[in-house]
């Protein structure tokens, strides 16, 4: 797949359809991978946060989230077909989830928000299996139980909304033990869904 390196981060030059198809491929393969959605803010942060930069360099897919990322690619002289925003990609994945029998876990945001977003998803995408929710406010002591909860739910897709760069760092650190095929950092997605 074609990548455009922006501020040291390889961003995939893909359409929404291609991004969703690649996620399907990751789920079939079942080797845990991280997917990030890179807006300008994330790319700027990666210039001075080496740990974040290395995580993004090692991610299975980094989508161009936001006009700034698409603009930067064009400015560097590369084709970037369209914006693939996290919120929109999550809606696409959820729209296809019932027919594909995808199990999805909502992790992150303030207490109650992920539950509200789950109810919204169940209204919007009948038959969807949101197999668990967990708010994103926790201490290190809570982490083993959170990891067990996610593992026990056996999701195909883990959506993590802890903010940038916490979500990427947490997912990169725990990807192996979680055993979830695809983990995606989704920022404020649950807040928007919960309204």
| 136 binds ligand UDP per the rule CB under 6 A | yes
| 119 binds ligand UDP per the rule CB under 6 A | no
Q: Rounded to 10 degrees, what is the CA torsion of 10, 14, 18, 22?
A: 0
The span from the CA of 8 to the CA of 17, in Å, is 25
| 32 binds ligand UDP per the rule CB under 6 A | no
Residues 6+ apart with CB under 8 A from 25: none
CB of residue 140 vs ligand UDP: minimum separation in angstroms? 12
CB of residue 143 vs ligand UDP: minimum separation in angstroms? 12
Stretch that binds ligand UDP, among 27-35, 53-61, 143-151, 161-169 (CB under 6 A): 161-169
* Exposure letters 85-103 (e unless 16+ CB within 10 A, then b): bbbbbbbbbbeebeeeebb
CB of residue 84 vs ligand UDP: minimum separation in angstroms? 15
CB of residue 165 vs ligand UDP: minimum separation in angstroms? 8
Give backbone dihedrals phi and psi of 64, rounded to 5 degrees, phi first: -80, 95
Among 25, 81, 179, 188, binds ligand UDP (CB under 6 A): 188
Stretch that binds ligand UDP, among 26-34, 93-101, 157-165, 175-183 (CB under 6 A): 157-165
| 137 binds ligand UDP per the rule CB under 6 A | yes
| 114 binds ligand UDP per the rule CB under 6 A | no
Alpha-carbon distances, residue 148 vs 90, 115, 181 (angstroms):
24, 19, 16
Asked, as a colleague might, if the bond just before 165 is cis with ω within 30 of 0, I would say yes
| 162 binds ligand UDP per the rule CB under 6 A | yes
Among 19, 109, 156, 170, binds ligand UDP (CB under 6 A): 109
Which residue of this chain has its Cβ atom nearest to ligand UDP in the complex? 136
Q: Please tell me whether residue 78 adopts helix, strand or coil conformation.
A: coil
Kindly state the tokens that stand for 80: 């970037």
DSSP string, 107-129: EESSTTHHHHHHHHHHHHSTT-E
Closer residue to ligand UDP, CB minimum distance, 27 or 34 = 34
Interaction site with ligand UDP (CB under 6 A): 108-110, 136-137, 161-164, 166, 187-188, 190-191
């Amino acid at each position: 797949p074609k990548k455009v390196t922006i501020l040291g981060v390889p961003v995939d030059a893909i359409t929404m359809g291609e991004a969703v198809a690649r996620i399907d491929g990751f789920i079939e393969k079942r080797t845990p991978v991280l997917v990030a959605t890179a807006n300008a803010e994330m790319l700027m942060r990666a210039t001075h946060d080496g740990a974040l930069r290395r995580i993004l360099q090692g991610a299975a897919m980094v989508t161009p989230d936001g006009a700034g990322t698409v603009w930067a690619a064009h400015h560097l002289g590369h084709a970037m077909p369209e914006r693939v925003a996290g919120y929109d990609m999550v809606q696409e994945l959820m729209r296809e989830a019932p027919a594909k029998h995808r199990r999805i876990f909502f992790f992150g945001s303030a207490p109650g928000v992920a539950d509200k977003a789950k109810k919204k998803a169940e209204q919007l995408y009948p038959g969807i299996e949101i197999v668990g929710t967990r708010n994103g406010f926790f201490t290190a002591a809570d982490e083993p139980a959170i990891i067990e909860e996610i593992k026990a739910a056996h999701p195909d897709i883990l959506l993590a909304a802890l903010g940038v760069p916490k979500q990427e760092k947490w997912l990169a650190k725990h990807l192996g033990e979680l055993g979830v095929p695809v983990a995606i950092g989704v920022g404020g997605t649950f807040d928007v869904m919960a309204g």
